[in-house]
């Protein structure tokens, strides 16, 4: 299926281009919002050849395509008018909103940064092959590459304006003001500069990140004010004039220096970590990158990465660790493919493994590694080991790009050992992950097995049935299957199997006799272990972590022994729903892999203490 056909298939299952209110893409995903969500068929979208996965997160739909996503996105735009200004306001949590802003501002400029970084890498290779740095060819290619970083404020001005909702051309003008040659001359001269008696701090804003974002943020409010106070007959010129005359001085006197200071602090912290504990951040990134990607938290590092690129010309925060992590995802998937006897799963895992080695990890993550807790742990340990070596050797990434074997050139720089050490870190991560997965992480489950000599299904099943455990509902309400929960982690049983309850009150009680393993700091999740060894997670609501414990009251502590029916947590259902959050309560067996199966009861009304599901 070519890009046009793929785009057409996606449009057919989202209600057409007229239903789209927002469309953009990151490195591997289409990110979309719609007028009428009842027209969206996620299940059909997931079945389209070329679509690696699809999910809805905090009001936004994400369709995983892979590295061809930008071409598919462009094909969709060609097929009809998309009125992005008509996007309805989605009520999402502050954290999700912040991640979405970061993604929307920084993702569009990544191709320019990638191009600039790759040209620099090519220049390094050319110099190693004998090119003279004083030659005109080198000089021209050098300033071509530098332009991608120097004019970063102008590019970020445009993407920020598109996301925050102000005139993008006025925003670009603000970026140009910060980089104007006359202002650059004032900086070079070093003499004090004042505007109406207010000191203008002489800051070089070339390649900066934070100042222009703050400037555009201010512009969104000033432009509305200017629109309100400008008389209609003169609004055409008075509105933009007022906007610039207010925003520019405030930015030069106040916001610009503040943004520069924030960027300096980020650079200092990054520099300190690189110089004193260079192994720490790559090790942590190598270990926890799957969880960061799963939750979308990796977007929060974009300002740090851009600041590092513009300050040093490279970054060591995410690139080295994410490279190793992606390779480890591939190693685990390939190992599972070799061990499993299920032909269909073998094909799925092997394909996902190869794709992960190339840098696209979603098929491996959602299809293989997150399904098995020990496999995921193997990936994280291998990633930590490879990341530790990478950090110890000072590996850096010179430009953005999806880390994988195909994008190894982004690690080529003036130090020829940088790319060599990057490859060694991949070998370390791959080897450790593969061995851990083989000997510890992956064991055949009932569904993976096929009939073979010496395998007696009835005999094994009868032995496992002795572990039958009944799990009661922890809350009054209506039972629903996990597939109906509006969260990919639960709906796809990534965290484990179980069932959910739509509560009618705010009392969570113990579903069995056992122990309180952990109560999350944010009080919305509690982990329990039954006397028989079943490990249970009760998760109150969707995205309620953002409430930071507000509207929750906990009545137990870690290590407490509880009996069936004991009160564990109370929550204010009405207040949580009024804040815009769902209160459905998924009840998950986190050690699902230790059992034969989880058998849910029929959907419908349930009272606290009545059967919710059975563990076999």
Class of 466-615 in CATH: mainly beta
- For the whole model, what pTM was predicted? 0.58
pLDDT (mean) for 201-211: 87
Q: Using the Cα atoms of residue 543, residue 544, residue 545 and residue 548 in order, give the sign of their dihedral.
A: positive
Q: Is the pLDDT of residue 244 over 90?
A: yes
pLDDT (tens digit per residue) in 2-20:
888 888 888 888 888 888 8
pLDDT (tens digit per residue) in 488-546:
778 877 778 899 999 999 999 999 999 998 888 888 999 898 888 888 999 999 888 88
Q: E strands within 551-597?
A: 552-554, 561-562, 567-571, 585-589
pLDDT (mean) for 336-348: 84
Lowest mean pLDDT among 58-72, 286-300, 392-406, 456-470: 456-470
Lowest mean pLDDT among 39-43, 385-389, 409-413: 39-43
Question: Greater confidence, 464 or 29?
Answer: 29
Confidence label for 88 from pLDDT (cuts 50, 70 and 90)? very low
pLDDT (tens digit per residue) in 98-144:
666 777 788 788 888 878 878 887 888 888 788 888 899 989 998 99
Of the candidates 26, 100, 18, which has an alpha carbon nearest to the alpha carbon of residue 59? 100
Q: Is the pLDDT of residue 21 over 70?
A: yes
Whole-number Å distance between alpha carbons of 298 and 317: 11
Predicted pLDDT of residue 299: 65
Q: Is the pLDDT of residue 92 over 60?
A: no
Predicted pLDDT of residue 483: 85
Mean pLDDT across the chain, nearest whole number?
84
Which residues carry out catalysis?
Answer: 26
* 36-50, 102-116, 160-174, 344-358: range with highest mean pLDDT: 160-174
Strand-pair partners of 25: 30
Q: Is the pLDDT of residue 449 over 60?
A: no
Indicate the helix (H) or strand (E) that contains 169. Answer: helix 168-179
Q: Is the domain covering 3-91 a CATH 3.30.1360.60 domain?
A: yes
Lowest mean pLDDT among 215-229, 445-459, 515-529: 445-459
Joined tokens for residue 593 = 């892999």
* 84-98, 418-432, 480-494: range with highest mean pLDDT: 418-432
Q: Is the pLDDT of residue 199 over 80?
A: yes
Joined tokens for residue 218 = 């201010």
Predicted pLDDT of residue 465: 39
Of the candidates 358, 432, 356, which has an alpha carbon nearest to the alpha carbon of residue 388? 432
Query: What percent of the chain lies above the pLDDT cut of 70?
Result: 91
The CA-based angle 16-19-21, given to 5 degrees, is 130
Predicted pLDDT of residue 87: 47
Q: Is the pLDDT of residue 352 over 90?
A: no
Q: Is the pLDDT of residue 292 over 60?
A: yes
pLDDT (tens digit per residue) in 62-77:
887 766 777 888 888 8
Predicted pLDDT of residue 96: 62
pLDDT (mean) for 44-61: 75
* 50-64, 76-90, 594-608: range with highest mean pLDDT: 594-608
Predicted pLDDT of residue 107: 76
Locate the domains of the chain by residue range.
3-91, 151-274, 280-306+313-441, 466-615
- Across the beta sheet with 611-615, the strand order is 469-472, 611-615, 598-600
Query: Looking at residue 349, what DSSP letter applies?
Result: H
> How many C-alpha atoms does 552 have within 13 Å on its Cβ side?
24
Torsion of CA 288, 294, 299, 301, to 10 degrees: -10
Predicted pLDDT of residue 17: 83
Helices (H), 518-596: 573-578
Joined tokens for residue 352 = 């996902």
Lowest mean pLDDT among 184-193, 265-274, 423-432: 265-274
Predicted pLDDT of residue 463: 41
Predicted pLDDT of residue 479: 92
Predicted pLDDT of residue 42: 80
Q: Is the pLDDT of residue 97 over 80?
A: no
Q: Is the pLDDT of residue 460 over 70?
A: no
Query: Looking at residue 296, what DSSP letter applies?
Result: T
Residue with tokens 């555009």: 216
> How many C-alpha atoms does 158 have within 13 Å on its Cβ side?
10
Q: Is the pLDDT of residue 454 over 50?
A: no
Question: Greater confidence, 410 or 27?
Answer: 410
Q: Is the pLDDT of residue 450 over 70?
A: no
pLDDT (tens digit per residue) in 356-386:
898 878 778 877 887 788 899 999 999 999 9
Whole-number Å distance between alpha carbons of 254 and 277: 34
Cβ(383)–Cβ(428) under 8 Å?
no
Lowest mean pLDDT among 160-169, 217-226, 592-601: 592-601
Predicted pLDDT of residue 253: 94
Residue 23 dihedral angles phi and psi, to the nearest 5°: -145, 125
Predicted pLDDT of residue 104: 77
Question: Greater confidence, 568 or 463?
Answer: 568
């Amino acid at each position: 299926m070519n890009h046009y056909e793929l785009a057409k298939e996606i449009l057919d299952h989202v209600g057409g281009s007229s239903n789209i209110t927002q469309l953009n893409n990151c490195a591997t995903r289409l990110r979309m919002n719609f007028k009428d969500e009842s027209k969206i068929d996620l299940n059909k979208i997931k079945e389209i050849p070329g679509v690696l996965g699809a999910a809805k997160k905090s009001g936004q739909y994400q369709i995983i395509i892979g590295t061809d996503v930008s071409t598919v996105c462009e094909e969709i735009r060609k097929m009809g008018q998309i009125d992005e200004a008509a996007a309805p306001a989605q009520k999402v949590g502050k954290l999700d909103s912040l991640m979405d802003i970061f993604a929307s501002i920084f993702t569009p400029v990544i191709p320019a940064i990638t191009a600039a970084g790759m040209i620099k890498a090519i220049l390094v290779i050319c110099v190693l092959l004998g090119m003279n740095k004083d030659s005109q060819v080198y000089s021209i290619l050098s300033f071509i590459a530098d332009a991608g970083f120097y004019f970063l404020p102008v590019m970020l001005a445009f993407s920020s304006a598109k996301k925050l909702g102000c005139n993008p051309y006025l925003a670009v003008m603000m970026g140009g003001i910060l980089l104007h040659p006359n202002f650059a001359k004032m900086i070079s001269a070093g003499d004090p500069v004042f505007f109406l008696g207010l000191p203008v701090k002489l800051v070089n804003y070339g390649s900066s990140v934070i100042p222009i974002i703050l400037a555009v943020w201010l512009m969104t409010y000033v432009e509305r004010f200017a629109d309100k106070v400008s008389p209609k007959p003169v609004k055409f010129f008075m509105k933009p004039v007022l906007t610039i005359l207010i925003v520019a001085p405030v930015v030069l006197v106040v916001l610009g220096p503040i943004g520069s200071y924030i960027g300096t602090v980020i650079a200092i912290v990054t520099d300190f970590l690189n110089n004193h504990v260079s192994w720490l951040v790559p090790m942590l990134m190598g270990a926890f990158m799957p969880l960061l990607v799963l939750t979308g938290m990796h977007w929060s590092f974009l300002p740090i990465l851009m600041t590092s690129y513009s300050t040093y010309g490279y970054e060591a925060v995410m690139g080295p660790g994410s490279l190793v992590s992606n390779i480890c995802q591939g190693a685990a998937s390939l190992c599972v493919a070799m061990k499993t006897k299920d032909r269909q799963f073998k094909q799925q895992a092997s394909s996902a493994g190869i794709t992960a080695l190339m840098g696209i990890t979603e098929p491996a993550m959602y299809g293989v590694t997150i399904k098995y807790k020990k496999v995921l742990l193997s990936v994280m340990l291998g990633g930590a080991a490879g990341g530790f070596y990478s950090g110890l050797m000072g590996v850096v990434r010179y430009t953005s790009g999806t880390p994988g074997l195909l994008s190894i050139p982004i690690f080529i720089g003036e130090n020829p050992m940088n790319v060599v050490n990057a490859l060694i870190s991949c070998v370390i991560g791959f080897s450790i992950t593969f061995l851990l997965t083989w000997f510890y992480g992956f064991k055949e489950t009932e569904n993976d097995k096929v009939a073979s000599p010496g395998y007696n299904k009835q005999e094994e099943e009868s032995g496992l049935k002795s572990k039958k455990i009944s799990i009661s509902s922890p809350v009054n309400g209506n039972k629903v299957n996990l597939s109906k929960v509006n969260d990919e982690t639960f709906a796809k049983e990534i965290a484990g199997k179980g069932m959910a309850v739509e509560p009618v009150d705010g009392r969570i009680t113990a579903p069995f006799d056992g122990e309180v393993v952990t109560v999350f700091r944010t009080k919305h999740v509690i982990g329990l272990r039954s006397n028989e060894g079943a490990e249970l997670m009760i998760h109150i609501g969707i995205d309620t972590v953002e409430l930071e414990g507000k509207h929750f009251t906990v009545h137990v502590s870690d290590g407490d022994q509880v009996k069936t029916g004991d009160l564990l947590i109370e929550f204010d259902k009405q207040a949580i729903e009024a804040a815009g959050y769902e209160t459905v309560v998924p009840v998950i067996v986190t050690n699902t892999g230790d059992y034969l199966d989880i058998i849910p009861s029929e959907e419908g009304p349930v009272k606290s203490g009545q059967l919710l599901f059975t563990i076999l």
